[in-house]
Amino acid sequence: MKILVPIKRVHDAYLRPRLAPDGSGVDLEKAKMSMNPFCEIAVEEAIRLCEAGEASEVLVVSVGPGACQDVLRTALAMGADRAMLIEAPLHVEPLSVAKLLVSIVEREQPDLVITGKQAIDDDSNQTGQMLAALLGWPQATFASNLERKGAEITVTREIDGGLQTVAMALPAVVTTDLRLNEPRYPSLPNVMKARRKPLETLSPDTLGVDIAPRLKVLKTEEPPPRKAGTRVADVAELVDRLQNEARILRAES
């Protein structure tokens, strides 16, 4: 089984993003960038399937500027076998990414695509589902468990009311939720080894995909600030303020 893992390079999840002063959106010029956390989980899951003997090859792909090579090298250091970079501008819409991935799927014929359920920058939560639709493949989004059972995979999904289990014949698309696994840190020897693993560069033009954006971003702004809060001295003051100031709790009659 060959697994394709699309990954995205995003603003580091643990640092606070800032708006660029020119109003162009979030300032990514000097920001620390990392692999999208959900994509890290996807890479980890694919590598674990290889280690368990269920899969034979893990191919990672990213869409973006040349700097995306760093997250691809991270995935290779974690244990992926090969990487592909589709060189494109910083912002590519999920629909365009899905179309680029269709062309990679046609070239590489993977049996399974595992990717993050959403990127923590635009929070779109679309690419995996769009890819599945364009390929006519089944999908299992928000996966918290994945098992291969013969020609099928069984996926447990996190849904609003609890958990849902679905089975899919391969090929299929899976998107990862938080509790699927805990991604490993690459060891130093593996980081060194990853430098020699193959990384191919492609372009949307050679793949024949138009990536012109469909949506026009009119503005990106801070949400209105909340008013400063009050430190209350004790429980009595808290209840009094909730009753008489915020008027959230009914006062005792």
Partner 1 sequence: MTILLVIEAEATGLSETARRAFGAARQIGSADILVVGTACADTSAQAAKLDGVGKVFVAEGTEAEGLTAEVLAATVMGLSERYDGFAAAADSVGKNFMPRVAALLDVMQVSEIIAVESPTVFTRPVYAGNFRQTVEVPAGEKLVLTVRTSAFEPAALGTASAPIETVPLIVPETGTARFVSESLAGGERPDLATARIIVSGGRALGSKERFEETLRPLAERLNAAIGASRAAVDAGFVGNDLQVGQTGKIVAPDLYIAIGISGAIQHLAGMKDSKVIVAINQDEDAPMVKLADYSLVGDLFELVPELIQALPKSDA
- Which 215-234 residues touch partner 1, going by CB under 8 A? 215-223, 226-227, 229-232, 234
Residues 100-119 that bind partner 1 (CB under 8 A): 117-118
Hey, what amino acid is at 67? A
Residue among 42, 60, 114, 130 that touches partner 1 (CB under 8 A): 130
- Phi–psi pair at 29, nearest 5 degrees: -60, -50
Cβ pair 161, 50 in contact under 8 A:
no
151 near partner 1, judged by CB under 8 A: no
Q: What is the DSSP letter of 178?
A: G
Q: Within a 10 A sphere around the Cβ of 215, how many other Cβ atoms?
A: 7
Q: For residue 72, what are its two tokens?
A: 């691809």
Q: Judged by CB under 8 A, which stretch of 41-49, 55-63, 158-166, 183-191 contacts partner 1?
A: 158-166
Name 98's Cβ contacts closer than 8 Å, sequence gap at least 6.
126, 127, 130, 131, 134
Q: Is 196 in the site for partner 1 (CB under 8 A)?
A: no
- CB nearer to partner 1: pick between 152 and 193: 152
Q: Segment contacting partner 1 (CB under 8 A): 1-9, 62-70, 127-135, 199-207?
A: 127-135
Nearer to partner 1, 195 or 247 (CB): 247
- Termini Cα distance of the chain: 69
235 touching partner 1, by CB under 8 A: yes
Where does this chain touch partner 1 (CB under 8 A) — which range of 65-73, 104-112, 122-130, 194-202?
122-130
Residues making up the chain, counted from first to last: 253
CA triple 31-37-39, angle to 5 deg? 115
DSSP string, 142-159: EEEEEEEETTEEEEEEEE
List the interface residues with partner 1, window 199-218 (CB under 8 A). Answer: 213-218
Q: In the window 6-65, what residues touch partner 1 (CB under 8 A)?
A: 11, 13, 16-17, 19, 25-26
Taking CB under 8 A as the rule, does residue 163 contact partner 1?
A: yes
